Structure 1
Amino acid sequence: MIFSMTGYSRAQISESGYSVTVDMKSLNGRTLDVLFRFPKGFMYLESEARSIVRKHLRRGRIECVVTVDVEDPKLKAPPIQPDVFLFYWNQITDLARSIPNSSFPTLSDVLRIPYIYDHSKDEKQQELFSELLLRAVNEAVEKLVTMRLEEGSILEKACRNHLETIESIVESIEKRRDEVVADLRTKIFERMREILKEFSIDPDEEKIIQEVAFLAEKSDITEELVRLKGHISHFRKLLNADEAVDGRQLDFLVQEMHREATTLGNKSADLEISVKVVDLKAEIARLREQVQNIE
């Protein structure tokens, strides 16, 4: 099972006079980096919102924008307490009468006093709103996970296609290697006989055979081919697993494939194999481009 690191989701919940919208965007990242943008006054929920995201996701840069609309006008400002308002009005008016040349209070003067407003429902509304917002965040991240899984299935198909191409190239190199080894031994053997004859040195057949075997072994690419096939097999095994694949494991395998392909190209002196190695490294690079999008 493969999850992509890219995706987008939106969740919107309207309830109890509030409307909360959460837009969530996911980008590639080496670790999990969660960024929230809350309206002013709602930052106290960031820690809980981050925890929700971290329960569902392992890697990627997650950008979340939270928008809040208050649909009920009664919720936009606390109501005025008439008895408290009149109390302050009378107190200030009496005080103004007792002070010579002082001006009487205006309506706006008294409205600036915070104690005339009824804040008894604020705590209950805050609890209700917090539950609503966190529910919207949870819904958004669940939708994001679904989208990342859908994109992951596309990535999986692409990886399998690249893997088949890589495997095909490795098999063609393996076939060519058998032809090259026999041909190389013959050429080295004949060349050494010619050199010895040129300098009038009696050839020691046994020693020539030993030298030919040594030189042929230095250019043998069997070990690299075996390791490449092992990496391909391991990669395919991870793709077939039921649990979520760690993209970092796949990336490590691709790096190992590239390293073996480079060594293979350096050791082989055959032109046809060298051309195939170039194709092999190009296909491995294409595979890595896909792997770097996997969570």
Structure 2
Amino acid sequence: MLSMTGFGKGEATVGPVRLSAEISSVNRKQLELRVSAPAEFAEFEPLARKLVGATVSRGAVQLRISCTSLSGGALQASVDAALLASLVEAAKAARLTADLDENVNVEQLMLIPGVVVSAVPDADSPGMAEAYERAVSSAIAEYQAMRQREGEALKRELESREQGLETLVSQIEPLVAEINGAIKARLLEKLSAEKIPTPADDERLLKEVLFYADKSDVTEELTRLHSHFGQFRRFLAEETKPVGRSLDFLMQELFREITTLGNKAGIPAVSPLVVAFKSECEKLREQIQNVE
């Protein structure tokens, strides 16, 4: 079992440059990957998405790529002085032609592509693609290890809460065990109290009594609850496939069955147990939102 939250960092060097990759995530129903990297590495984004997609099925994932020099400092950009000078002269000439003064905004000219030369190596620099993949892969490996550790802690929490739900059902079962017979007897007592004859051979009357008694039978709901508990444990034991969506759906089914049981049983002693079950279900669902 893997958690949807985690963090990992990886590095790789190529020439005088250190490539750093950081990956982090939080829970989300679908996989949403955002890649933040220098513009020079834009063509590597499909590779990053492929590497992340191979290990992550859902969650809001942020991948950040940065470059520094091996000495640890930021890479210093440079200015193409010759190009900038020619642009300044061209701007002055244009302003004079337009009958304006010669004041030129040099900072605006520096925004023109090619004037400021980035110190980040191009994507096609020798060894850059391999270094990028090593950094990202290393970050993902650390990220996966953290998600595994958090997943194991989540698993223990879910196991404990699921056992709590089973305990509540075990307390409900003896309370509803004789519910059919009790309702049948109560109906017959009311008929007798109203002085309505209930002959043993009145098949139509007895069928009506049995019909109302059967409406309160919760055997089917108890059977389904136990079946869902077994499925829940099997999902927790799964080691290769994501189970978060399956567990979330199963919690909806558990909630539905206990609601039906509570409505059908109509026994005062059962009501607080049903309420406790629903409360635990909600807490369990909150935890499951973090499971991949």
Structure 1 and Structure 2 fold alike (TM over 0.5) = yes
Q: Please tell me whether the aligned partners of residues 3 and 294 of structure 1 are also in contact (alpha carbons under 8 angstroms).
A: yes
2:261 to 259, 264, 285: 264
Q: Please tell me whether the aligned partners of residues 179 and 265 of structure 2 are also in contact (alpha carbons under 8 angstroms).
A: no
1:237 aligned partner: 234
Q: Unaligned regions of 5+ residues in structure 1, if any?
A: 86-113, 115-121
1:118 aligned partner: none
TM alignment of 1:275-290, pairs within 5 A: 275-290=272-287
1:177-224 per-residue CA deviation (whole Å, 9 max, x = no partner) reads 1143333222221111112x1xxx433234454333221101111111
C-alpha displacement at 1:76, in angstroms?
6.5
Q: Please tell me whether the aligned partners of residues 235 and 253 of structure 1 are also in contact (alpha carbons under 8 angstroms).
A: yes
Matched letter for residue 217 of structure 1 = D
TM alignment of 1:178-217, pairs within 5 A: 178-195=177-194, 197=195, 201-207=196-202, 208-217=205-214
C-alpha displacement at 1:69, in angstroms?
1.1
Q: Please tell me whether the aligned partners of residues 40 and 123 of structure 2 are also in contact (alpha carbons under 8 angstroms).
A: no
2:150 aligned partner: 151
Structure with greater helix percent: 1
RMSD: 2.6
1:117 aligned partner: none
Distance change (3 Å), C-alpha of 1:28 and 1:124: closer
1:216-251 per-residue CA deviation (whole Å, 9 max, x = no partner) reads 101111111111110111111121234234211111
Matched letter for residue 55 of structure 1 = A
Q: Distance in 2 between matches of 1:251 and 1:124?
A: 43
Q: Please tell me whether the aligned partners of residues 180 and 214 of structure 2 are also in contact (alpha carbons under 8 angstroms).
A: no
C-alpha displacement at 1:33, in angstroms?
1.4
C-alpha displacement at 1:123, in angstroms?
7.4
C-alpha displacement at 1:156, in angstroms?
0.6
Larger Rg: 1
Q: Distance in 1 between matches of 2:286 and 2:219?
A: 28
Q: Please tell me whether the aligned partners of residues 22 and 67 of structure 1 are also in contact (alpha carbons under 8 angstroms).
A: yes
**How many equivalent pairs are there?**
250
1:97 aligned partner: none
TM alignment of 1:32-47, pairs within 5 A: 32-47=31-46
Matched letter for residue 262 of structure 2 = G
TM alignment of 1:38-187, pairs within 5 A: 38-71=37-70, 126-187=125-186
1:292 aligned partner: 289
1:100 aligned partner: none
Q: Secondary structure at the match of 1:25?
A: strand
Which deviates the most, 227-236 or 284-293? 284-293
Q: Distance in 2 between matches of 1:124 and 1:166?
A: 55
Percentage of matched positions with identical amino acids: 32
Distance change (3 Å), C-alpha of 1:30 and 1:123: closer
C-alpha displacement at 1:125, in angstroms?
6.7
1:147-172 per-residue CA deviation (whole Å, 9 max, x = no partner) reads 11111101111110111011111111
TM alignment of 1:16-27, pairs within 5 A: 16-27=15-26
Matched letter for residue 160 of structure 1 = E
Q: Distance in 2 between matches of 1:67 and 1:206?
A: 88
1:11 aligned partner: 10
TM-score after normalising by structure 2? 0.78
Matched letter for residue 3 of structure 2 = S
